[in-house]
Amino acid sequence: MIDLDDIKTIEQYDKSNQIDVMVNWYSYIKEAREESLKLDISTSFQWNKKKVDFRKPKNIVICGMGGSAIAGDYLSQLFKNDLSIPVIINREYDIPQFVDEDTLVICISYSGNTEETLSSFYKALLKEAMIISISSSGYLEAFSNQIGIPHIKIKEGLPPRTAFPLIYISLISILERFELINKMDQDINETEQLLQNLALEYSPEKTINDNISKQIALGLFNTLPVFIGHTFYSSIAYRAKSELNENSKILAVYEELPEQNHNGIVVVDNPNKTLNDTTFVFFRDREESKSIKVRIEETIKLISKETEKILEVYPKGKTKLAKQFSSTYLIDFVSIYLAILYEVDPSITPSIDTLKAQIKKKANIVDRLKGEINSKL
């Protein structure tokens, strides 16, 4: 088996230095905070001879795909009990019918060229909705600048999924600017400092005996990981599944409590199937409610009759934001170390690139959208 304490072996497979990117996440939090606070929403923009004014929205639709959309899930779950308006995450070409001039549509595409997001951007223009965009470059930035739509430009040259802190902190700042949530400075400062400390704990230089991210990667190796979350840990479980898909190039499953107790739990009832090759990972919190605590513990009791491969992951930090980030940070490192164990490059995604190329060749949606938007400028 690959030795995760061998730095040269890690460098051999991590050709794009994704671990280096992860080590610098704390600095991305500061960078995103500074840039997003410069956002000007005091003015209006014009498109197709119509003026759109910014005001306090009655609902929010966040449009994005993959690593760009997941920050919206984190946001909606973190502020679920604070926001007085609904937040919808839209992973489609179209947008909900209810979108109108009182809707804030936030379009996110790390590359700026994601066709589903560009399509949603165009549909939001047709609905005369308030629009804010986030990207590192691409058509989304270009169209926003041409039309006068507020745009947050984030750092270029990263694997899109590793740009998570840049996107998430930008989203939080947007909600603050519309006075939809309280100021998050203390929470963000705590998170930044926490990740700076954790970077040392999860770094390749820290040996397996003292590195929980390497230990978890070894525990998941050659198994089917099932990630189970609850409340604001549900989006973390989903991201964990996605990170193992993209970085580790393996199948992984995401479940959410209490829903999992109404369907997924019955896998333990099949006498003809074993769970020996499955590892269940529960995202926990020492402050979880009694109802969730009981559900998790009873679920673990049932599963433990079929397999000993059960992990419980607890967050670090005091605030919910810090807890979200610390759990995410851990699992992202795990996914990279797991990629090394499988002897694959965590950064490249050949099948996604092939799909995009074929879809572009056969559908050419972006070129059509360019024509539609430019004709009305």
Residues serving a catalytic function are 246, 262, 356
The answer to whether the beta carbons of residues 158 and 21 sit under 8 Å apart is yes
Integer Cα distance of 3 and 340 in angstroms: 9
Integer Cα distance of 127 and 196 in angstroms: 43
Integer Cα distance of 322 and 48 in angstroms: 43
CA separation, residue 369 to residues 37, 68, 355 (Å) = 30, 20, 19
Residues 6+ apart with CB under 8 A from 284: 233, 296, 312, 313, 314
Beta strands in the chain (DSSP E): 45-47, 50-52, 59-63, 87-90, 103-108, 130-135, 151-153, 224-230, 253-257, 278-283, 310-313
Rounded to 10 degrees, the C-alpha dihedral 320/322/323/329 comes to 150
Reading the block at residue 291, the tokens are: 């109802």
Instruction: Report the Cα 294 to chain-centroid distance in Å.
Output: 28
Integer Cα distance of 296 and 95 in angstroms: 36
Long-range CB contacts for residues 53-57, cutoff 8 Å, separation at least 24: 53/130, 54/130, 54/150, 55/102, 55/130, 56/178, 56/179, 56/180, 57/85, 57/102, 57/103, 57/104, 57/130, 57/178, 57/180
Q: Is the dihedral of CA 338, 341, 346, 348 positive or negative?
A: negative
Integer Cα distance of 162 and 128 in angstroms: 32
The answer to whether the beta carbons of residues 49 and 126 sit under 8 Å apart is no
